[in-house]
Amino acid sequence: MKFFSSLLVTCALIFSSSSAQAKPAPKVQLETYLYDRRFVSGAPLDAQLVVKNPSHHVTQLKFSPDRRFEVQVLRVNNKQRHLIWSAKKPFSVPGSSLRLDAGAVQTFQMQLLEAGSAPLLPGRYEVRSKLTGSPTASAPSIGFSVEKQLVWFDFDGTPSRGQVGLTKTITFPIAVQNRTGQKQILTFEGGQSFDVFVSNEAGRVVWSWGATRDFVGGRRRVMLQPNQKLLFQAVCQGRELEIPGRYTVQAVLTSNPRLYSRKVPIEIK
């Protein structure tokens, strides 16, 4: 009788242990996406992080302090860290949480490098991302390359100032020039050659030249002879900005890799 009692207790313990093991801790999936895989030295580096709850139950992510992610950029050949995104950000909130329903997806945008900041040298790099809260998750590393900028691209003069109104316009002259002694080839993935973005003082883009235009065409290559210069022009109606104030303008050559102009301040009165 004692034998059967011991056997029942043992079986109960095993069943209890198996039941506990049958309920794994809630897990989430983390993925990192880059706008492109080719960049020029000095260009901005933007990333998108996607958190997914693949389970059939609600997952509560807890963060302390309010640092949800840590993103590292490493050189491929020597694994030297060149950037830790979280190290540049102030985190003053004591803690936070994020609820993810079953099958829910949460997306986060972040700029790892701003245009004109300390550039990455030409070479191959990889991005590693992870959740810093509980439960933890790491994204598969994603690689990209940085190339030396061989052609000059910027505003060709200062953008004109304008006033808000139905008839007032702001003109943005843009130029790309081959300042080397050799032919250079620009590769475009579609019919669009450039774009211009106007951002308010909060950094939010309030106008884009290409947002309301349709571009026709496939992949194409444009050859620039030594010292050859191409000119573009974007025009913004003052009424499209609506609110007088101070703005920042930046042009982008939509080649592969992309080229970025300096940021120019303008004021609408």
223-252 pLDDT per residue, tens: 999 999 999 999 887 667 767 788 899 999
Same domain for 33 and 135, yes or no, is: yes
**Confidence tier at 257 by pLDDT (50, 70, 90):** very high
Q: Mention every residue, 6+ apart, whose C-beta is less than 8 A from residue 145.
A: 37, 38, 39, 123, 124, 125
Phi/psi of residue 18, nearest 5 degrees: -65, -40
pLDDT at residue 82 is higher than 70 = yes
Are 157 and 82 found together in one domain?
no
Instruction: Flag whether 3 is in a domain.
Output: no
End-to-end CA distance of the chain: 95
Out of 147, 162, 193, a domain closes at 147
131 in the same domain as 101: yes
pLDDT at res. 178: 96
Domain termination residue (choose one: 147, 180, 204): 147
Q: Domain range holding 168? A: 152-268
Residue 110 lies in a domain: yes
Residue 61, number of CB atoms within 10 A of its CB:
21
Check residue 98 and give its pLDDT. Answer: 85
Percent of the chain with pLDDT over 90: 48
Return d(Cα 260, Cα 149) in angstroms, integer. Answer: 10
Look at residue 115 and tell me if it is in a domain: yes
At residue 53, the pLDDT reads 93
Strands 38-40 and 142-147: parallel
- β-strand partners of 170: 236
Residue 255 has pLDDT above 80, yes or no: yes
CB 210 within 8 A of CB 199: no
* Shared-domain flag, residues 218 and 250: yes
Q: Does residue 117 lie in a domain region?
A: yes
How far does CA 24 lie from the centroid of its chain? 33
Quickly state the pLDDT bin for 24 (edges 50, 70, 90).
low
If DSSP codes are grouped into helix, strand and coil, which group holds residue 102?
coil
Residue 12, domain member (yes or no): no
Report the candidate in 243, 235, 247 with the shortest Cα–Cα distance to residue 169.
Answer: 235
**Number of domain units in the chain:** 2
| pLDDT for the residue 141 | 94
pLDDT tens string 171-227: 899 999 999 999 999 999 999 999 999 998 888 899 999 998 999 888 999 999 999
- Cβ–Cβ under 8 Å, residues 116 and 69: no
Q: Are residues 214 and 123 in the same domain?
A: no
For residue 37, the tally of other CB atoms under 10 A from its CB is: 11
pLDDT at 266: 84
Kindly state the average pLDDT of the residues 106-119: 83
Q: Is residue 4 part of a domain?
A: no
Same domain, residue pair 157 and 178: yes
Residues 123, 55, single domain; the answer is yes
Within a domain: residue 10?
Answer: no
How far apart CA 208 and CA 249 sit, in angstroms, is: 10
Identify the weakest region by mean pLDDT among 25-29, 107-111, 137-141, 198-202. Answer: 25-29
Residue 140 and residue 166 in one domain = no
What is the pLDDT, as a whole number, of residue 93?
59
- In the prediction, which pLDDT does 160 show? 62
Q: How many CA atoms lie within 13 A of 89 on its CB side?
A: 18
- Please check whether residues 114 and 172 belong to one and the same domain: no
CA distances from 138 to 51, 59, 86, 133 (A): 10, 16, 15, 11
Residue 239 located in a structural domain = yes
Residues 98 and 171 in one domain: no
In terms of domains, do 189 and 204 share one? yes
Residue length, the chain? 269
Q: Among 147, 166, 187, which residue terminates a domain?
A: 147
Cα gap 165→269, rounded to integer Å: 10
Regarding whether 156 and 92 lie in a shared domain, the answer is: no
pLDDT at site 194: 97
CATH code at 227?
A: 2.60.40.2360
